[in-house]
Chains A and B, each alone.
Chain A
C-alpha cells in the first residue's frame, strides 16, 4: 500500500470532552510499531458503552478520545514481528485480546488476557499510549480501538482475522454487541435445552442474548423491557413471552416467579442498571438459578446474600466469554451459514459525518444498531 510506513491523515469523530457532541476532525495516525497492525475501518457502529463514556463520565480522564469499538475493516499495514496478518486481510478489531501465551489465555475458565488494557487502565477506558494525534494533541483510543476513525493502529493480539467472503457491513456487529449478548447466553450462562430464561433489556445485546437462549434450546424466553416497541423484534430473535415491568404494580421478579412457578433457570441483565441487576438475580429459581450481568455501569449494585445462600449464582461476562481469536471467526462463519442472524439487528445505515444523529437515536431508544459507512 502506498501508505505503508507513513503517517496517515484521515477523518475521525473526536470526543473532546464529556457530554459534548463529537467533532469531525482530521487526525494523524502513526505507522504500526512492533507487534501492531494498522487497519482501514470500513464499517463501524456505536454501542451503549460508547454512549456511557460520552454521556455519563464524571471526569475528563478518558478524554479526548475517539470512541467506537464495534467495527470491521482491512489490514493496511503491519509492524515488525507481525506474521499473523498481511495487508488486505479482512479483520475485526476487538476491545478484548488473546495473546495465547499468558496463564489466562491458557485457562478455559476465562477470556481475560493478562495483556489486556482492562487490567491496568480501566479508569481511562483506554491505554494511555495512543497512535492518534489531532493538531499536535494525543487522542486516546476508546477501549483500545477507537473505530470512529478511518484508520486505527492496535496490537495484533486485539485483531481477529475473518473469512475473506465475510460481508463487513454486517459482521462488524461481532466486534462487541452481538458477540457479547449471544455469548452471555451460550457461554457464560450455559443455557441448557428446555430451560426457562429471562432477558432484561432489548437493545442489540439483549436481542443477541435472546438469540443465544433460542439457539441453546431454551423452551421459554421472557423478553423484558419498558419499551414495548422492542417486543416485535424480540419475537424475531426467538422470545416467547413479553413483559413490560411498568404494566405491573409489583416487582417484575415476583411476576416472573409466579409465571414460572418458582423463577427462571437463567436470567441475563443487558441494561447496565443496578436495580435491574438485582431484579434479574431475584427472578431466578431458588436452588439453581443463574443470573449473568452483561450491561455495564460503574454504580454499585446490591442484593441480599440470602439470595445466593438459597442457591442462586451471580456471574458476569465480558464479550460473552468468547476468546476472541477463537470465537469471533466462528461466529462469522455461523452467520454465513445462517446459524445466527445479524441483518435483523441493523435498523439504520448512515455516514460517519452523521455520528451525532446516531448518538441521539440511541439515547432515545430508536435504534438497535446503526451501521456507519466510513467511506467518503
Chain B
C-alpha cells in the first residue's frame, strides 16, 4: 500500500457550495475530514451535472427539501485517496465510482433479486450526512451537507464503503462518471425495469441524458421501433445516434401526444419510458401504451407532485412501474457497465456535449436550462 501524504489528515480543497436554495453555487475552499470506520475518501476526477442537481437548488417546489448548505453532485468518478478502518473492498489508488444508491449485500433488499433499493444508511444519506449523522465537509467552520451522501462537486469527498465501487483501471474517468447516475438510470430503465423485449415498439419521452440512455437500452434489448419524443427537435439527431428510429415533436401536432402515438403504432406502444419528470408527461406516457399488456416506466425524478390517472387505463391491462438507478444493484453492476463501455457495448462519449472546470459550474446549470447540453462534465 502506498501512503498518500494526505492520509489521515484534513484536506483543504475547492468545492461548489450551495449556501441556500435559489442561489448560484459558490466556489469555496472547504475542509474534508479523513474517513471514519467503513468510509472511503475519494479524489474526484470528473463529475457529470444532472438535472436533479439543478432541481434541488432551483426547483425545490417539486422536491423534498434537503438541508443547506449543501455540496451537490452525484455523478462522479475518481481515485481512492484513503480508507477508514474496516474498509476491505477498495484500496488507495483504486479507480472508483461513488454511488448514491448503496449495495451492502446483507439487507433484505440486497438479498432480494426483485429490487436494488439497499436500505443501508438510507435515511442518513437522504439528509446529507453519513452513518454517524454528520458530514465530512465543512466550510467557514460550518458543516456542509453531502448531497445523497456523495457530493461530487468537490475535489475530495468521503462516502460510506457500500456507496463506492471499484472499476477497471483503464476506465476513462471523465466519461465513466456518467454511470454514476444518468446513463445507468435510463439504460437500466429499459433493460431491467421495463424488460423491453426483442421486436417490440417503444416510446421514450424526453431526450436528455436519461432519455437517450433509455433509447440506447431499448436498442440493446432489440426493440424494432423506438420513437423518440421531445419538444426540442434539435435533439432528434442525437436520438438517432443512440438508436431511435422515429421522432415526434408534440408541438407539431394538434392532437395529444398519446393520441398521435396510438395512431402511429395502431393502438399504442409496448413500452413507454417517461424521462422528463413531469406528471402530465407521465400520464401521456401511460395512455400511449397499448392496453394489451403495455408497460410504462416512470424514470424522471419527481418527489412531491401527484400523478393522476383514469382507472380504465390501468384496468384494461397496462402496467405502471418506476425505476431507481435503472434497477441496477449498484456495486456489482456499475463495474460491468464500465466493462460494457470499454468493449463498446454501450456509448458514453456521445453524451458529453460540454466540458467545464469546477469554477464554471454555474454555466453547466445554464446549459441545462437552455436545453443546449446533454451532459456537461466538470473536470476537477
Contacts and interface: CB of A to CB of B under 8 A. Distances in A.
B166 to A, nearest CB: 25
A103 B270 CA distance: 13
Given A287-B109, A288-B114, A304-B306, A311 B322 contact: yes
Contacts of B309: 300-302
B115 to A, nearest CB: 3
B365 interface: no
B307 A304 contact: yes
A52 B366 CA distance: 52
B1 interface: no
Interface residues of A, number: 43
Contact of A300 (B108, B115, B301, B310): B310
B217 interface: no
A337 interface: no
Contacts, number: 122
Interface string A307-321: 111111111111001
A118 B321 contact: no
A301 B311 CA distance: 7
B: contact size bracket: 35 or more
- Indicate the member of B293, B301, B311, B314 with the most A CB atoms within 10 Å: B311
A293 B315 contact: yes
B324 interface: yes
B257 interface: no
B319 interface: yes
Contact of A297 (B109, B300, B311): B311
Given A110-B293, A305-B279, A306-B302, A315 B311 contact: no
B282 A305 contact: yes
Interface in B285-324: 291-293, 298, 300-324
A305 B309 CA distance: 11
B317 A110 contact: yes
B112 A107 contact: no
Given A110-B292, A293-B311, A305-B298, A311 B316 contact: no
21 contacts: A110-B292, A111-B317, A112-B291, A112-B316, A286-B115, A287-B109, A288-B114, A288-B115, A293-B315, A300-B308, A304-B302, A304-B306, A305-B302, A305-B305, A305-B307, A308-B322, A309-B322, A311-B114, A312-B322, A313-B321, A314-B319
Interface of A: 103-104, 107, 109-112, 118, 122, 262, 272, 274, 277, 286-288, 293-318, 321
